[in-house]
Structure 1
Amino acid sequence: MSTVVVTGGTGTAGRAVVNALVAAHHDVVVTSRSTSSVHGRVRTVRLDYGSPADLEAAFHGPDAVVHCATSFTGVRGGETELGRRVLAGARRVGCGHVVSISIVGIDRIPLPYYRAKLATEKLVENSGVPWTILRATQFHELVTRLLSGLTRPPLVLVPDIPVQPVAAEEVGARLAALAAARPAGRVPDLGGPEITTLPALARSYVAAIGRRRRVRAVRLFGSVFAGYHAGHHLAPGDATGTITYQDHLDAWVRTRR
């Protein structure tokens, strides 16, 4: 049993990590920008990531920090700065292990957010704190949010790209296990159990929610979509997830009834 801090512990990945840690009987500290509370083994601490004092107080005494908090505002003042502050806080309190979640393909697809994630990886590697980095493919939840927006018009136009979505709970379980182990550097990627296409998932989505829509695959251009078409965001050799998107979709639909 150990104490683990989870930044972003109220988000999709963070919640999955917290659940896995609690199931393994670890004590968990969740950092939150809005509230503080205590529930069982989980203590939620209100935190201003811009405050070194807040970070040191939240990080006091943990065996590991799992960094799941994120920012979509780019490199400057966003994702990379957030990572810099978290790592500085962990280093100041002498934390022995930082585990960071990242994304497959960030070094080969030139999205601004991916560039920021890659820069954050470099910060982790050079932080002076023992570290582990896990890259994962896209979460089922992200695919569902994307398809929810794309499938509103009568004619659904969906980028014709391959996808390999993975269950957040499986990523969370892997991160929790890594946090309880020794620092391992860059570990094997984690991908979902099947590679399919986004239009195929769109058809599954509209059928599951009972929405009558025509789905048409469209090919997009540019360096970003060239990277997606090439499959740089996939992990065919690390397809160790077991929960398919259809499994996720069936469970999601049941919760909406």
Structure 2
Amino acid sequence: MTGSTGQLGTPTLEALIAAGHDARGLTRRGGADAIAADLLTGDGVDEGLAGIDTVVHLATTNGKKDLVIAEHLAAAAVRAKVTHLVLVSIVGIDEIPLSFYKQRVRIEEILRSSGVPLTVQRATQFHSLVDSMFSAQRYLPVVIAPSVRFQPIAVDEVATRLAELALGSPRGRVPDIGGPAQRTMRDLHAAWRAATGGKRPAVGLRLPGKLFAAYDAGVNLVPGEAFGHGTFEDYLAAKYN
């Protein structure tokens, strides 16, 4: 597994190990339950994938370097004759005009074009992302809350899903998953402010153009019965109480 020490990787690796499987992380430093390899340079990746059947790809630098990482991983997976790649991705990335999302689309394409059997799981944003969007504005007199709807999901629920997919056969792109409710950013901010004891009001933000039009169309949401059960309030209570 790549990204095994990250926010999503840690519970995913734990879920695989708890299920009794020989699961290991791929990290630059190695260590317990981890193999030393550098995905940015490619050093040690071939050795790290030797004898591995399934690779769960969760590593990210949150930038363009992720494309290099995907290229190195895909090439090494081919050489190692990996039989299943599992990739986590984001709901709506092919319809929301953000450069970061375009990179996520390209990562899917890189792994798919490798020829290694692939499973892609797109999920909505994590509760922690919404939290960080508000926390990052701690020095502003008000909190900017874009006039969009989000459907945040608990990290642990995504981790459980990825572990299940990793233990199965390749399935291509599987149905998207999202949290239990579609909520406005103002609504989420009200919950965040109550949990953190904040006093600053939220101010809506709306801009013309394709970005907000895409959010208005709900391309970042998952209609129908929700996959996740953990609410934003559950996350906030666990972190701030």
**TM-score, normalization by structure 1:** 0.89
Aligned match of 1:29: 24
Aligned match of 2:58 = 68
Distance 1:187 1:152 in 2: 41
- Name whichever structure is richer in strand by fraction: 1
1:20 is aligned, of 5, 15, 26, to 15
Identical positions, percent: 39
CA contact (8 A) 1:109 1:228 kept: yes
> Are the aligned partners of 1:106 and 1:115 in contact in 2 as well (CA < 8 Å)?
yes
Within 2, Cα distance between the matches of 1:49 and 1:156? Answer: 37
How many angstroms does 1:53 deviate by?
Answer: 4.7
- Aligned with 2:164 (options 177, 180, 194): 177
The equivalent residue for 1:54 is 44
Describe the SS at the equivalent of 1:37.
Answer: coil
Corresponding residue of 1:165:
152
Aligned positions, number: 241
Pairwise CA RMSD of aligned residues? 1.5
Give 5+ residue unaligned stretches, structure 2. Answer: none
Structure 1 segment 1-257 matched on structure 2, within 5 A: 6-33=1-28, 35-38=29-32, 43-74=33-64, 78-237=65-224, 239-254=226-241
TM-score by length of 2: 0.95
CA distance in 2, matches of 1:178, 1:124: 16
Bigger CA drift: 198-207 or 48-57?
48-57
CA distance in 1: counterparts of 2:148 and 2:128, whole angstroms: 18
Moved more, 173-182 or 217-226: 217-226
Report how far residue 150 of structure 1 moved: 2.8
| Greater than 6 Å deviation, 4+ residue runs | none
Does the aligned pair in 2 maintain the 1:151–1:213 contact within 8 Å?
A: no
Shift of 1:81: 2.1
Deviations 1:125-165 (A, max 9, x none): 22111110000000111111111113542322211110000
- Once the two structures are superposed, residues 204-243 of structure 1 have per-residue CA deviations (whole angstroms, 9 ceiling, x without a partner) of 1111011211112222233222212221111123521111
